[in-house]
Amino acid sequence: MDHDDLLALFDLRMREEARPDAPGAVVERVGAVVRQTGAASDWNGVLWSSLDRATADAAIAEQVRHFTALGHDVEWTLYGHDEPDDLGERLRTAGFVPEPAETVMVADVSDLSYGSEMPEGVALVDITTARDVTLLTEVHRAAFGTDPGALHARLLRQLDLDTVLMTVAVVDGQPVSAARLEVSPGTGFAGLWGGGTLPGWRGRGIYRALVAHRAAAAARRGARFLRVDASEQSRPILLRLGFTALTSTTPYVRPATAR
């Protein structure tokens, strides 16, 4: 599948026809916007839009009203090919703040090449209990320097879902890295999320091992394609494994307290 066909498939399956990623969350199309609304700890925001310069501002204002009335923070996920080309500036004017841009990278599971050797002394453990979810989110806190409170609540709600796999990498009984897999049934896609490794353990092949572990789990669950929103640090590793850059993505976030 060439780049343009794969991008069109990604837009259709993962954005325009997106499905809720948490129990109780609702994905709905409102005019030219597809959004997800859930609990305050869920991901709330805009997944897809088909806008132009004449319709963008009104659509943005409608989403602000919707999520503000619920008291939720909202994220408008802006992709590099979205229209109009000044949508980011319009979001800023409406009180959204851009977070660092990432590269959407995609691979066919059957095309990946990551070797078979596990880093010495490292064990991968899939999470099955609420206590272990806390271990994962604490690794997230240490690796990324962010408060994992909302993530922790969301993962507890996803713990029993077969479409979600949470894994920690353990050395001498201590978690040093953590990552998640989220499969979107019926779409052919699965997402690799997290992938945070403590600073002292980076560069040892743990991230690669976690990709391989989750890719195998995704294949067992019927996914053909893997997608990753890659940072500058993970992009070179993913390229070597067989991923290709599809587009860019920038989260634009508007806190519930914004005016």
pLDDT tens-digit readout, 181-237: 999 999 999 999 988 999 999 988 999 999 999 999 999 999 999 999 999 989 999
pLDDT computed for residue 191 by the predictor: 97
Q: 243: helix, coil or strand? A: coil
Q: Does one domain contain both 117 and 217? A: yes
> In CATH, what number is assigned to the domain containing residue 163?
3.40.630.30
Q: Give how far Cα 168 sits from Cα of 20, 171, 195, Å.
A: 25, 10, 9
H helices of 113-197, where? 130-144, 149-158
The answer as to whether 106 is a domain residue is no
pLDDT at 243 over 90: yes
> In CATH, what number is assigned to the domain containing residue 80?
3.40.630
Q: Does one domain contain both 67 and 188? A: no
Domain residue limits at 189: 113-242
pLDDT computed for residue 113 by the predictor: 83
The answer as to whether 218 is a domain residue is yes
Q: Does one domain contain both 48 and 26? A: yes
The number of distinct structural domains making up the chain is 2
pLDDT computed for residue 109 by the predictor: 94
pLDDT computed for residue 149 by the predictor: 84
Global pTM value: 0.91
The answer as to whether 76 is a domain residue is yes
Q: Does one domain contain both 128 and 184? A: yes
Give 37-68 pLDDT, tens digit per residue.
Answer: 999 989 999 999 999 999 999 999 999 999 99
The answer as to whether 21 is a domain residue is yes
Buried b (16+ CB within 10 A) or exposed e, 99-133: eeebbbbbbebeebebeeebbeebebeebeeeebb
Q: Does one domain contain both 187 and 96? A: no
Nearest-5° Cα angle at 252, 51 to 59: 30
Q: Does one domain contain both 17 and 55? A: yes
Taking every pair of C-alpha atoms in the chain, what is the biggest distance, in angstroms? 59
Question: Cα separation of 116 and 109, whole Å?
Answer: 15
Nearest-5° Cα angle at 245, 253 to 99: 15
Q: Does one domain contain both 20 and 63? A: yes
Q: HSE, CB side, 13 Å, CA atoms: give it for residue 96.
A: 26
Task: Output the six-digit token pair for 65.
Answer: 């009203």
User: Under a CB-based contact definition with an 8 Å cutoff, are residues 249 and 78 in contact?
Assistant: yes
Minimum mean pLDDT among 132-136, 177-181, 187-191: which range? 132-136
Minimum mean pLDDT among 4-8, 157-161, 180-184, 249-253: which range? 157-161
The answer as to whether 108 is a domain residue is no
The answer as to whether 69 is a domain residue is yes
pLDDT computed for residue 148 by the predictor: 83
The residue among 142, 143, 160, 140 whose CA lies nearest residue 152 is 140
Q: How confident is the model at residue 116 (pLDDT cuts 50, 70, 90)?
A: low
Q: Does one domain contain both 119 and 196? A: yes
Return the number of other C-beta atoms located less than 10 Å from residue 1's C-beta.
Answer: 12
The answer as to whether 28 is a domain residue is yes
The answer as to whether 77 is a domain residue is yes
Residue 139: CB partners within 8 Å, gap ≥ 6?
Answer: 168, 175, 176, 177, 178, 196, 198
Question: Cα separation of 231 and 228, whole Å?
Answer: 9
Phi, psi torsion values for 142, nearest 5 degrees: -70, -35
Q: Does one domain contain both 51 and 143? A: no
Question: Cα separation of 92 and 97, whole Å?
Answer: 6
Question: Cα separation of 208 and 55, whole Å?
Answer: 43
Q: Does one domain contain both 92 and 213? A: no
Q: Does one domain contain both 93 and 118? A: no
Q: Does one domain contain both 153 and 93? A: no
